[in-house]
Structures are given as structure tokens and as C-alpha cells.
């Protein structure tokens, strides 16, 4: 079993799912580790080849099943696959927001920003800000059975 560090906290930390990309944003997130920066351990990352391939349904699924927020760490202008990756990824985020709104989940639980392969500090800052916002919002309703 996990040893408790003994610290007592009143509320659990907001759970954030990050979608990152193999060649651009994931190396940036890795770099935060190499630099021994810190962010909340309630942040976990799933990596895909390109942010344009993130399915809005995955984002909705995460929020419906217990994540409090989803952050799309998109390729931005550096995407090696698609020149219009930015627009496509924005479309994914917008569609995911529409999808969750219909289910009564706040659209601001979905955030998106380009994270470059050296954007470690920017990533950590995003996680801090997003955690704070989600902390205010509270947990994402009831778990969908």
C-alpha cells in the first residue's frame, strides 16, 4: 500500500487529463521533469501523434468519468504533419466543449494551448492556473455509471 506522507489536506486536488503529442508538446512536458519543476500529481498525460487527431468524444469521456479538467497541449505552428493543425485542434476543443455543455458540464473545464518542445515552464504555469480554476469550480458532478 502507498505510505501516506501524513499531510492532511481538506479537498482533493483537481484531476487534470492532458493530451500531448509525441513530437512537440510531450517533449516540452518531459522537459519540466528534466528540469525538476513541479506541478500537481493529479495531472496525468496521454500522448497521441498529433493534436488534430484527439477525438472530442475522448475529452467528454474523461470529464464524464471523473477528470475535473482536460488540457489539450497542442502542436501549434510547429506541427510536422499538418500546416493547419492549430485550426484543426481548435475545432476539436470547440466541439468537445459543445459536447460537454449538452451534458451540463462547464465548457471552461476544457482548455487548450500550444506547448512547444521546450515550453516546460509555460506548461507548469498552465497547470497551476488550470488547477486553480478547477478548484473554484469543484469536482465534475457525479460519476456517470
Partner 1 sequence: MTTDHEPSDSTTVAGESGEPRRRIGVYVCHCGGNISDYVDVAAVRDAVAGDAEVVHVETTLFACSDATQNDMIEMIESQHLDGLVVASCSPKLHVPTFRAVSRRAGLNPFEYTQVNIREQCSWVHSDDRAGATAKAIGLVRAGIAKTAHSVPLEPITVETTPSALVVGAGVAGMRAATGLADLGLRVYLIERAATLGGWVDRWGPMYPNGADGHQLIERLREQVATRDAITVVTNAELVAKSGNFGNYDVDVRVMSDPPTTQRFRVGSIVVATGFDTYQPEVGEYGYGIDGVVTLAEFKELVDATPGPLRVGGRPVRTVTYIYCVGSRQPDGHQYCSRYCCAATVHASITVADHDADVAQYHLYRDIRTYGKLELLYQESRRRGSVYMKFPDDTPPAVRRDDAGHLVVRTTDTLTEGMAVDIPTDLVVLVTGMVPRENHDLTSLLKLPVGGDGFYNEIHPKLRPVETVVDGVLIAGTCQGPKNSFESVASGLAAVAQSGATLLKGVAELDPLVVNVDQDRCTWCGACQEVCPYGAIDRIVCDGREVATVNALSCKGCGGCAAFCANEAIELLGSTTAQIESMIDGMLEGSARDEELMV
- The residue ranges that bind partner 1 (CB under 8 A) are 1-5, 7-9, 11-13, 15, 17, 22-23, 26-27, 29-34, 36-42, 44-50, 52-58, 61-62, 65-67, 77-83, 85, 88, 91-92, 95
Identify the burial level of 10 via C-beta atoms within 10 angstroms of its C-beta, where 0-12 means exposed, 13-18 middle and 19 or more buried.
exposed
To partner 1, the closest distance from the beta carbon of 106 in angstroms equals 19
Residue 67's closest CA among 134, 19, 18, 16? 16
Closer residue to partner 1, CB minimum distance, 30 or 106: 30
Phi–psi pair at 29, nearest 5 degrees: -70, -40
Q: To 5 degrees, how large is the angle CA 106–CA 107–CA 110?
A: 115
Measured distance CA(145)–CA(132) in Å, rounded = 27
**Which helix (H) or strand (E) covers residue 100, if one does?**
helix 85-102
Secondary structure of residue 75 in the 3-state scheme? coil
To partner 1, the closest distance from the beta carbon of 6 in angstroms equals 9
To partner 1, the closest distance from the beta carbon of 15 in angstroms equals 6
To partner 1, the closest distance from the beta carbon of 77 in angstroms equals 5
Amino acid at each position: 500500500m502507498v505510505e501516506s506522507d501524513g499531510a492532511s489536506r481538506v479537498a482533493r486536488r483537481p484531476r487534470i487529463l492532458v493530451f500531448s503529442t509525441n513530437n512537440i508538446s510531450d517533449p516540452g512536458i518531459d522537459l519540466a521533469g528534466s528540469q525538476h519543476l513541479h506541478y500537481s500529481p493529479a495531472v496525468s498525460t496521454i500522448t497521441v501523434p498529433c493534436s488534430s487527431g484527439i477525438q472530442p468524444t475522448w475529452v467528454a469521456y474523461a470529464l464524464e468519468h471523473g477528470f475535473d479538467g482536460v488540457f489539450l497541449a497542442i502542436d501549434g505552428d510547429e506541427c510536422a504533419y499538418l500546416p493547419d493543425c492549430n485550426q484543426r485542434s481548435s475545432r476539436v476543443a470547440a466541439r468537445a466543449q459543445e459536447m460537454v455543455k449538452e451534458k451540463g458540464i462547464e465548457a471552461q473545464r476544457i482548455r487548450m494551448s500550444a506547448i512547444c518542445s521546450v515550453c516546460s515552464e509555460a506548461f507548469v504555469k498552465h497547470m497551476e492556473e488550470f488547477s486553480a480554476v478547477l478548484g473554484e469550480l469543484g469536482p465534475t458532478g457525479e460519476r456517470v455509471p
